[in-house]
Structure 1
Amino acid sequence: MKWRSPLSSSLFPLRSSNLHSRISTSTSTSKPLINPHSDVFSANCLADSHLKRGRIEDALHILDEIPQPNLVSWNLAISCHNHASQFDRSLATFRDLRSLGFQPNQFTYGSVLSACVASQRIDFSEQLYSLVLKNGFFLNGYVLTGLVDLFAKTGRFGDALKLFSEVDTENVVCWNALIAGGVRNGENLVALELFLEMVDGFCMPNGFTFSSVLNACAAVREFEMGRGIHAWAVKCNAGDDVFVGTAIVDLYAKCGDMYAAVKEFSKMPFRNVVSWTAIISGFSQKEDALHAIQFFKEMIHAKVEVNNFTITSVLAACSKPLIVNAVHHIHCWVLKNGVFMDFVVKNALISAYAKTGDVWMSEEVFKEAGVMESPNTWSAMISGLVQNNSFTKSIELFQKMFREGLNPDKFCIASILSVIDSTDLGRQVHSYVVKAGLVSDLLVGCALFTVYSKLDSIDDSYEIFLQMPERDTVAWSSMIAGFAEHGHSEKALFLFRQMILEKVRIDHVTLSSVLTAASFPQFLTRGKEIHAYALRLGLAPDSLIGGALVSMYAKCKSLISARSIFDGTLHKDQVLWSSMISAYVSNNLSEEAFLVFNRMLIAGGEVDRFTCSSVLGLCANLSKQSLGRQLHARVIRAGITHCLSVSSALVTMYSKCGSIDDSRKVFDEIESPDLITWTAMMDGYAQHGRGLEALEIFSMMKEHGVKPDSVAMVGVLSACSHNGLVDEGFLHFKSMSRDYGIEPELCHYACIVDLLGRSGRLKEAVDFIHKMPVKPDSLVWSTLLGACRVHGDVELGKVAAQKVLELEPTDSGAYISLSNMSADVGNWEEVVRLRSSMEGVGLKKEYGWSVV
């Protein structure tokens, strides 16, 4: 009997064969291990004994020597091949036994089904399923378990569920196969429902059941149910099982209860690599690098074999610059232990170095031999460059990837789309996405409509959103956020309503985005409705939503409601503190803002970039330099001086407090100033009458490749005005549309009027106003009025004042300027008349303020 025949092209040939001729063709030349004339039962028992001891070849040799094998012999042969992972031979043996006229039993079908599962032979399994139905083994628990397992492991969980529903069984193994199949196919909620149905039917779970349902609970964060199953497992004495123990640790880790996870981990009598990886992954999820590294060290000392998942988990925890040395140590360990060539490990190293800010080391790892063959590694490197704001390099690497003949995956496409700032490049990548068939992918679709939104093509963005075949919560939230950022509040609110009608899951991010859209006084009622909806969903206590609610009420001028939300949130995090401080700052309630800031410090809150920016802006407006210096010290201690928003606020604060040299010191320490920071420094010099330095900053900004915007050009024109550089001011004014594509606005025209007025060229200023392509506003005429006051031109001042009062009847400044000009030339009757006119229209002169 030859058990090693190859699998023929026909799966189930029904042909006759001479058994003795098959025996005579045996290639075995060694001495028979049994007497060929002994009984088949003894031979089968001996073969089974060898099989159980792992001596596969000896078992097959004994079976080869049986003159007239029975069905048990054939079943043992199939089991031998399965144990040796020779699944094609298992299927060939099954074909041979049928061709010789044997009728398979439940054990035959069970073993062959296992071979189909392991070899993923879908074609064979389809015919095998038909054979099971035909021969009446459909109701057999052993065969049914094999069929359920087969369908579940080949991606046909729906068929497995349907098959199981047609049979009434109390076989725990069959239930386990179905529940495990649900977990494997991502149907975790279905798996939990099956578990409840199983125990309702008085079928007692075992250790395998507990490990599967605990994994399901961990996947969907069903913490309370998981704790109940944990208690049940302990009661059934299944807690000592390594798989159950690992599932318990994984449940607590994924649900964020690391204290319980560590407690259960310490109780485990035996821990395998999966157990260690689960606890390390839990600390990684909590961004607790120190404990993740500590357990990784203990794992090495315990001499547990480390796999690539363990390494990627501990590297994922290393995401802060302060622990870059730990990444170096892990890198050395990886090299020493020979797992560096694993692409998964290599990708994790690239990402870890990028997260710690060491892009150079990321690039060094990327350049190692063999790395160019993996698109995933290119994706990791591009993502690392994006995270470190190396946008130009990331785009260059993306282009090089195409030249190397590699096709970027969806993760790479999503990363590169996040940094594209050119419509042309965005459309080129969009074309590739369509060509590569990735346009229907959820991740890529979200990245595509987000980039169009960022490039101010909100209509194109919405069109892509509508064309997406599948839209999850993230997609809806991103589109709502896009509408909100572009001032389309009505569309954002409409989309939110559609989201509710389509029963899409609403989360914290969605509510935060739609609350941003409702942050206008005219939408206060809508904002209150969304607040009520959040309360009904039970999401309102979340600090992210709390911060959005505070911001929404503050922008709608309903500070009482904002403060009520703030005071009602028990656990205030940094977002909520920052939101409340910003709310008071934006409503010019300085004292209240400082009080909340002090409360935050007393409560142990950290000074982050958002809080710093708000409070530094307050210090600048109130000229509180001493407080600003104290906050600067806290900024240095907190290590956030690299944040451009904070640096820009410091530059502005020192400038407005009269310390322009300190402002420049802060500016010089910034490695890569952005447009806002350049503009802040330029405005500082301009306001201090140091126009030449302001223009020098402008030249430096252009040399660094930073393109000015309309706000920056106001600073340039103001610098020219304060320094009397009339001709240079006009050159910069004309260059706005010619060189930078910036159409002059009323504020720019006012700067030119101020430039001419300060130089005493009042007639030219009037001519310039009359030639403006846009109608001058009160700012332009007020600027001319101020120049008339400086140069004592009362008649022209009256004209300018009249224009101001036509546009702004309640502007007391125009009356005051005219009154002062009249007083300067001794026309006191006019002064009295103007003061009387002010009183007649109900205007009062505002009090002057002085900061000592």
Structure 2
Amino acid sequence: MLTVNLVTWFTQLNCLIKFLKEILMHSFGFEPDEFTYGSALSACTALLLPLCGKQIYSLVVKNGFFSNGYVRSGMIELFAKSSCLEYALRVFYDVSCENVVCWNAIISGAVKSKENWVALDIFCEMCLGFLTPNSYTLSSVFTACAALEELDLGKEVHGWVIKRGAVEDVFVGTAIVSFYAKCGVMDEARKQFSLMPVRNVVSWTSMISGFVQQGDSIYALHFFEEMRRTGQEMNNYTVTNVLTACAGPAMVKVAIQIHGLILKSGFYSDAVVKASLINTYSKIGEIDLSEIVFRETEDLKHLGIWGVMISAFAQDDSPGKSIDMFQRMVNEGLKPDGFCSSSVISIADSLDFGRQIHCYTIKAGLLSDVSVGSSLFTMYSKCGSLVESFEVFQQIVEKDNVSWTSMISGFTEHGHANQAFQLFRGMLFEKNELDEMTLTAVLTACSAIYSLNTGKEVHGYALRRGLHKKILVCGALVSMYSKCSALDMAKRVFDMMPIKDQVSYSSLVSGYAQNGSIEEALLLFREIQMTELEIDSFTLSSVLGAVSLLNRLGIGTQLHAYILKIGLESDVSVGSSLIVMYSNCGSVDDCHKAFDQIKKHDLICWTAMIASYARHGKGAEALSVYELMRESGIKPDSVTFVGVLCACSHNGLVEEGYYHLNSMVKDHGIEPGCRHYACMVDLLGRAGRLKEAESFITNMPIKADSLAWGTLLAACKIHGDIELGRLAAKKVMELDPCDAGAYISLSEEGSRVEFCMSPSSFRSSILLE
């Protein structure tokens, strides 16, 4: 790496000397020729001095050399490399040009500026003229097609190459192999690779990279072995791709063997290779080996090595080490770049620390980095500060698809799906090219608010853009239609999927279960078992939910046995679903067993256990579980308190009920809702304290709903309090005229003949009184 850096510096120094010579020659009256101007422009390109290049080009125009192909290609290349493609295009179109070098320069510049359609349009102009593209032109064109994933267009260019007999050129052949590999068509890439008469390191590396991108590590390593067997020298790109192929489970031994090869071949001093090695070890769970590689690094000025080490600690759930590494960088005088900062921001779980890093990024001038900005607003969203999250998002000047998608997801996750839709419309207004991740996020927002019409509109957009067959989009569509109860549409999308994945199966099973199609849910679950797909916790939770509705303990027990067989009994979501299923089937002891099998209890499973005990009249056990939950450090939510108050109600624990109701606000800052107050009314009613229950309803800080009065009405019926029952029934009918229960209850009391009238007639008689 040191040798490469020295060569680069010497080259730039030589260019600078040339540039100064040209300036001196001009000042002493010497008239530069096209080669002099070309050399000066090459110097400006190497040193990235577009302003000086403009001054030189003004002399070029003044002295009549602007039509010279050598000079113009140099100017085009300078502007393209300086991210000034617009100026490069102006130079190119100043005069008509028949110089292939100029055409190659502008096409290559457009590709490097990621303006791939511009490059392809210029290529089409070139082909319509009288110029014949050469190997350099075709390499750029295939690169553009690969970047756009324009497989059909690339095939047309390939056909043109075959027709012109240029396919045997090693550079063109390599570009074709790389194109098919990057488009994921590995069978065609292998075919073209086998047809190449001469293969270089780039073509071998393209094949290895293609298999890595497709997740086929076995074939990637097989090609690497073949490459080594033929005696072909490898470069650092080859090594990094092979290391990426090793970044998977059960690949530790292979990674160590590649590590040995790197040491033997002299690539261990290459900072890029070393960073890739650190990343590979972290991905396979060998963080200790990552640390060893980092400690053995002599050139710690390379920010990439620091960045992957910080990221490795973050992925290993070692936030302390990641933060310490970041601080060490700053203390040693290094300036963390966007990748380092983004990695640290991603592990921030408190607003205070997140704001400190935010201040650092402002001071270091990193806010313009889209990855840093995206990490910041994601951090604020994760910490619950959606206002600050949106403020950071708005400050990002050039938003990419990742930033738009993350902000849309943030709004959805925090219950602001409507704002997510507004953001989506803003993204369309700015004419951004939507990808499958963005559409998936928007469809998730549709699912959150059960917006079937909007979901259909997004589906239509996906069809128009040709994204409807993408696996992620299909899964999101199945989920959206399922949650919106449009099961026929969900099944139709599911049946049309080219490849059915875990997510789509799980979404459809969940949809069937939630909409009461229990038999279909179980049949689909059986279908998943017959495939090679791994059954995840979400699918099992959905099936257990369906069994809960069936109230079939036998099927539930079989599922529990299957869960034990595949080792998911300790998963918190599966365990919580088992608790609910056993509770619905009346088996409280099995609820307790399922609870004990959970490895790490969360709020949901604690609440499920409390509710299960409360439902079956075991109030003391429910309150005991609640105290254990608090001792474990889990904070209760409003749903938890519904279970706690129900437990008090079913066991006549009036004073305990008052205590926990007051504790909601006093100790936990949770405002009681209608269900909590209804539980208290039920508690007082069961205890026979009906007048106190009436007074409690009257003095509630929120307006009593039909649930509270209906609960009192039921208590009055049990205890035979006709007068208070009549009052409660009137209140229920005022708040919910369609509630037939109130009419029936009054009719059963038999206090008046009018009570046996139809609901509408009875309501009229009450009003007349």
TM-score (norm 1): 0.75
DSSP 3-state at the match of 1:195: helix
Contact kept in structure 2, 1:350 and 1:362, CA below 8 Å: yes
**Aligned residue among 639, 647, 656 for 1:711:** 639
Moved more, 731-740 or 796-805: 796-805
Contact kept in structure 1, 2:50 and 2:79, CA below 8 Å: no
Contact kept in structure 2, 1:240 and 1:269, CA below 8 Å: yes
Alignment of structure 1 residues 237-276 onto 2, 5 Å: 237-276=165-204
The 2-side partners of 1:325 and 1:835 are apart by 83
Is 1:738 paired with 2:666?
Answer: yes
Contact kept in structure 2, 1:520 and 1:556, CA below 8 Å: no
Contact kept in structure 1, 2:34 and 2:71, CA below 8 Å: yes
Query: Residues 575 and 308 from structure 1, CA distance in 2 versus in 1: closer, same or farther, beyond 3 angstroms?
Result: same
Of Structure 1 and Structure 2, the greater helix share is in 2
Q: What code does the residue aligned with 1:197 have?
A: E
**Aligned residue among 76, 88, 91 for 1:163:** 91
Query: Residues 371 and 623 from structure 1, CA distance in 2 versus in 1: closer, same or farther, beyond 3 angstroms?
Result: farther
Query: Residues 704 and 234 from structure 1, CA distance in 2 versus in 1: closer, same or farther, beyond 3 angstroms?
Result: farther
Contact kept in structure 1, 2:412 and 2:448, CA below 8 Å: no
Deviation (angstroms), 1:793: 7.1
The 1-side partners of 2:622 and 2:289 are apart by 39
DSSP 3-state at the match of 1:536: helix
**Aligned residue among 729, 740, 749 for 2:677:** 749
Match of 1:221 in 2: 149
Contact kept in structure 2, 1:721 and 1:758, CA below 8 Å: yes
Contact kept in structure 2, 1:778 and 1:803, CA below 8 Å: yes
Deviation (angstroms), 1:134: 5.3
Deviations along 1:180-239, whole A, 9 cap, x unmatched?
Answer: 233233332222222222221121122222222111211221212222222333444433
Query: Residues 665 and 355 from structure 1, CA distance in 2 versus in 1: closer, same or farther, beyond 3 angstroms?
Result: farther
Match of 1:172 in 2: 100
Query: Residues 242 and 509 from structure 1, CA distance in 2 versus in 1: closer, same or farther, beyond 3 angstroms?
Result: same
Moved more, 100-109 or 589-598: 100-109
DSSP 3-state at the match of 1:205: coil
Q: What code does the residue aligned with 1:736 have?
A: M
Match of 1:314 in 2: 242
The 2-side partners of 1:168 and 1:624 are apart by 81
Contact kept in structure 1, 2:710 and 2:742, CA below 8 Å: yes
Deviation (angstroms), 1:166: 2.4
Match of 2:210 in 1: 282
Alignment of structure 1 residues 24-423 onto 2, 5 Å: 86-87=14-15, 106=34, 110=38, 114=42, 117-118=45-46, 129=57, 132-133=60-61, 136-318=64-246, 320-334=248-262, 337=265, 339-358=267-286, 362=290, 375-387=303-315, 407-423=335-351
Query: Residues 698 and 389 from structure 1, CA distance in 2 versus in 1: closer, same or farther, beyond 3 angstroms?
Result: farther
Contact kept in structure 2, 1:378 and 1:412, CA below 8 Å: yes
Q: What code does the residue aligned with 2:201 have?
A: V
Structure showing greater Rg:
1
Contact kept in structure 2, 1:547 and 1:580, CA below 8 Å: no
The 2-side partners of 1:634 and 1:310 are apart by 44
DSSP 3-state at the match of 2:633: coil
Match of 1:7 in 2: none
**Aligned residue among 520, 539, 559 for 2:467:** 539
Query: Residues 396 and 87 from structure 1, CA distance in 2 versus in 1: closer, same or farther, beyond 3 angstroms?
Result: closer
Query: Residues 299 and 546 from structure 1, CA distance in 2 versus in 1: closer, same or farther, beyond 3 angstroms?
Result: same
Contact kept in structure 2, 1:777 and 1:807, CA below 8 Å: yes
Deviations along 1:90-139, whole A, 9 cap, x unmatched?
Answer: 56777898899986655565566555545657687566545544554443
Q: What code does the residue aligned with 1:189 have?
A: W
Work out the number of aligned pairs and report it: 755
Q: What code does the residue aligned with 2:191 have?
A: K
Deviation (angstroms), 1:758: 5.5
Alignment of structure 1 residues 9-20 onto 2, 5 Å: none
Query: Residues 123 and 493 from structure 1, CA distance in 2 versus in 1: closer, same or farther, beyond 3 angstroms?
Result: closer
Query: Residues 806 and 343 from structure 1, CA distance in 2 versus in 1: closer, same or farther, beyond 3 angstroms?
Result: farther
Query: Residues 360 and 189 from structure 1, CA distance in 2 versus in 1: closer, same or farther, beyond 3 angstroms?
Result: same
Match of 1:677 in 2: 605
Q: What code does the residue aligned with 2:431 have?
A: K
The 2-side partners of 1:400 and 1:723 are apart by 59
Contact kept in structure 1, 2:755 and 2:762, CA below 8 Å: no
DSSP 3-state at the match of 1:680: helix
Deviations along 1:248-304, whole A, 9 cap, x unmatched?
Answer: 222112111122223323333443333333222222222223333333444444444
DSSP 3-state at the match of 1:588: coil
Match of 1:65 in 2: none
DSSP 3-state at the match of 1:470: coil
Q: What code does the residue aligned with 2:138 have?
A: F
Q: What code does the residue aligned with 1:141 have?
A: G
The 2-side partners of 1:460 and 1:135 are apart by 57
Q: What code does the residue aligned with 2:517 have?
A: L
Query: Residues 561 and 377 from structure 1, CA distance in 2 versus in 1: closer, same or farther, beyond 3 angstroms?
Result: same
Match of 1:619 in 2: 547
The 1-side partners of 2:140 and 2:412 are apart by 43
Deviation (angstroms), 1:583: 2.6
Query: Residues 636 and 799 from structure 1, CA distance in 2 versus in 1: closer, same or farther, beyond 3 angstroms?
Result: same
Query: Residues 366 and 192 from structure 1, CA distance in 2 versus in 1: closer, same or farther, beyond 3 angstroms?
Result: same
Deviations along 1:425-452, whole A, 9 cap, x unmatched?
Answer: 4444443333333333333333444444
Query: Residues 337 and 670 from structure 1, CA distance in 2 versus in 1: closer, same or farther, beyond 3 angstroms?
Result: farther
Contact kept in structure 2, 1:531 and 1:540, CA below 8 Å: yes
Deviations along 1:31-84, whole A, 9 cap, x unmatched?
Answer: xxxxxxxxxxxxxxxxxxxxxxxxxxxxxxxxxxxxxxxxxxxxxxxxxx9999
The 2-side partners of 1:105 and 1:240 are apart by 38
Match of 2:766 in 1: none
Alignment of structure 1 residues 575-590 onto 2, 5 Å: 575-590=503-518
Contact kept in structure 2, 1:797 and 1:818, CA below 8 Å: yes
Match of 1:445 in 2: 373
Listed as ranges, the gaps of 5+ residues in structure 2 are 1-8, 764-769
The 2-side partners of 1:793 and 1:498 are apart by 60
Deviations along 1:451-489, whole A, 9 cap, x unmatched?
Answer: 444555545444444444333444444444444445545
The 1-side partners of 2:310 and 2:594 are apart by 31
Query: Residues 518 and 128 from structure 1, CA distance in 2 versus in 1: closer, same or farther, beyond 3 angstroms?
Result: closer
Moved more, 602-611 or 248-257: 602-611
Alignment of structure 1 residues 446-461 onto 2, 5 Å: 446-461=374-389
Listed as ranges, the gaps of 5+ residues in structure 1 are 1-80, 823-828, 843-852
Deviation (angstroms), 1:165: 2.0
Contact kept in structure 1, 2:450 and 2:483, CA below 8 Å: no
DSSP 3-state at the match of 1:159: helix
Deviation (angstroms), 1:357: 4.7
Q: What code does the residue aligned with 1:217 have?
A: C
Deviation (angstroms), 1:141: 3.3
Deviations along 1:783-826, whole A, 9 cap, x unmatched?
Answer: 55666677787776676566555544554666788899x8xxxx
Query: Residues 614 and 222 from structure 1, CA distance in 2 versus in 1: closer, same or farther, beyond 3 angstroms?
Result: same
Contact kept in structure 2, 1:207 and 1:233, CA below 8 Å: no
Q: Work out the percentage of aligned pairs sharing the same amino acid.
A: 51
Deviation (angstroms), 1:504: 2.6
